[in-house]
């Protein structure tokens, strides 16, 4: 078996510290989330944010849709690397989180982000009915709806468009046969569905809690 890394917390910090620096407002969001205690785990990891930024820059993405914004760390991270005419539409049903996120976008003077505050399925159906097309969709909301989100989002991107899904390794539990709780099985079933979906190519990247990158083929 080829050599592979054991990604310890120490090594994760080393990677973060030797990759692109966070801006002051990105750091403010991370620190605010830490102050929330247990809820900080909702945020994507810093290494995931750095990876998404790189991906956006190399792929020339201009129009992003995010499902699940929490206090805005992933949205701001992605918006910061969009070109000036880029846009990011961010969906979340929680107005308290969304207002906090808005305050960070304003502090960063980041005007490319548009927030829609209501259940994401409603927003997605409206975006589909109005024939909106995005270059990249980032799915990071309630796991029970992952498949519903994915199926609508396939129609919101063109050939070559990206769908990126977070938490697909579910703390490593997806590969542990002894784990059979509701959420592990939801993610397992979702991963199985993606694997057999011939409309896209797929690649699971083991950063943070696991990201699947899907590219639409047709
Ligand atoms: C994991 S957090 C998103 C984290 C964010 N991407 C970040 O990096 O900070 C999930 C978010 O999805 C939102 N959410 C959960 N169910 C939802 C639904 N049905 N419609 C819209 N938003 C939902 C929650 O309010 C929460 O803010």
Ligand 1 centre and the CA of 170: distance in Å? 16
**For ligand 1, atom 19: residue with the closest CA:** 119
Of 197, 209, 191, 190, the closest CA to residue 51 belongs to 209
List, for residues 133-155, the tens digit of each pLDDT value: 999 999 999 999 999 999 999 99
For residue 113, what are the β-bridge partners? 88
Residues with CB under 6 A from ligand 1: 42-44, 68-71, 73-74, 91-94, 97, 119-120, 140-142, 145
For CA atoms 167, 173, 174, 175, the dihedral sign is positive
Quick one: the chain helix, strand, coil %, rounded to 5? 50, 20, 30
Cβ of 151: how many Cβ atoms within 10 Å?
A: 12
Measured in angstroms, how far is the CA atom of residue 88 from the centroid of ligand 1? Answer: 15
pLDDT confidence bin for 218, thresholds 50/70/90:
confident
Report d(CA 123, CA 65) in Å as an integer.
11
- Read off the pLDDT of each residue in 53-66 and give the average, rounded to a whole number: 97
Element (H, E) at 27: helix 24-35
**pLDDT classification of 3: cutoffs 50, 70, 90:** confident
Tell me the pLDDT band of 171, cut-offs 50, 70 and 90: very high
Q: What is the pLDDT of residue 127?
A: 98
Q: What percent of the chain has pLDDT over 70?
A: 100
Cβ atoms of 120 and 145 closer than 8 Å: yes
Q: Is the pLDDT at 62 greater than 80, yes or no?
A: yes
What pTM was estimated for this model as a whole?
Answer: 0.97
Give exposure, 153-182, as e/b (b: 16+ Cβ within 10 Å): bbebbeeebbbbbbbbbbeebbeeeeeeee
Using CA atoms, how far apart are residues 24 and 64, in angstroms rounded to an integer? Answer: 23
C-alpha dihedral (55, 102, 166, 87), degrees to nearest 10: -40
How do residues 10-33 score in pLDDT, each as one tens digit? 999 999 999 999 999 999 999 999
The 3-state DSSP class for residue 189 equals: helix
Cα of 42 vs centre of ligand 1, distance in Å, is 8
Whether residue 158 has pLDDT greater than 90: yes
**Residue 46 CA, distance from chain mean position:** 12
How confident is the model over 185-198, as a mean pLDDT? 98
Residue 198, classed as helix, strand or coil, is coil
Average pLDDT for the chain: 97
Q: Residue 71 above 90 pLDDT?
A: yes
The C-alpha atoms of residue 157 and residue 168 are separated, in whole angstroms, by 21
Domains, the chain: 9-216 (3.40.50.150)
- The pLDDT of residue 28: 98
| Whether the predicted pLDDT of 202 surpasses 90 | yes
Q: Ligand 1 mean position to 164 CA, how many Å? A: 15
Nearest CA to ligand 1 atom 1: 42
Ligand 1: centre distance to CA 5 (Å) = 31
Kindly indicate the confidence band of residue 192, based on its pLDDT and cuts at 50, 70 and 90: very high
Task: Determine contact, residues 82/64, Cβ cutoff 8 Å.
Answer: yes
> Residue 162 has what pLDDT?
98
What's residue 187's pLDDT?
98
- The number of the ligand 1 atom at minimal distance from the alpha carbon of 141 is 12
Per-residue pLDDT tens digits for 92-127: 999 999 999 999 999 999 999 999 999 999 999 999
Asked if residue 125 lies in contact with residue 151, where contact means CB atoms within 8 angstroms, the answer is no
């Amino acid at each position: 078996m080829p050599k592979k890394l054991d990604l310890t917390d120490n090594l994760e910090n080393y990677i973060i510290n030797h990759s692109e620096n966070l801006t002051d407002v990105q750091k403010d969001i991370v620190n605010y989330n830490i102050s929330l205690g247990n809820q900080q785990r909702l945020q994507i990891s810093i290494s995931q944010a750095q990876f998404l930024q790189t991906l956006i820059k190399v792929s020339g993405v201009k129009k992003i849709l995010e499902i699940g914004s929490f206090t805005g760390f992933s949205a701001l991270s992605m918006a910061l690397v969009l070109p000036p005419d880029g846009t990011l539409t961010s969906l979340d049903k929680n107005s308290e989180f969304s207002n906090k996120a808005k305050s960070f976008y304003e502090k960063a003077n980041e005007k490319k982000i548009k927030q829609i505050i209501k259940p994401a399925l409603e927003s997605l159906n409206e975006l589909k009915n109005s024939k909106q097309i995005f270059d990249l969709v980032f799915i990071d909301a309630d796991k029970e709806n992952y498949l519903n989100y994915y199926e609508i989002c396939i129609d919101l991107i063109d050939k070559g468009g990206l769908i990126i899904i977070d938490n697909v390794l579910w703390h490593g539990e997806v590969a542990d046969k002894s784990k059979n709780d509701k959420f592990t099985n939801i993610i397992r079933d979702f991963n199985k569905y993606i694997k057999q979906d011939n409309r896209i190519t797929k690649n699971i990247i083991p950063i943070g809690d696991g990201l699947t990158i899907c590219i639409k083929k047709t």
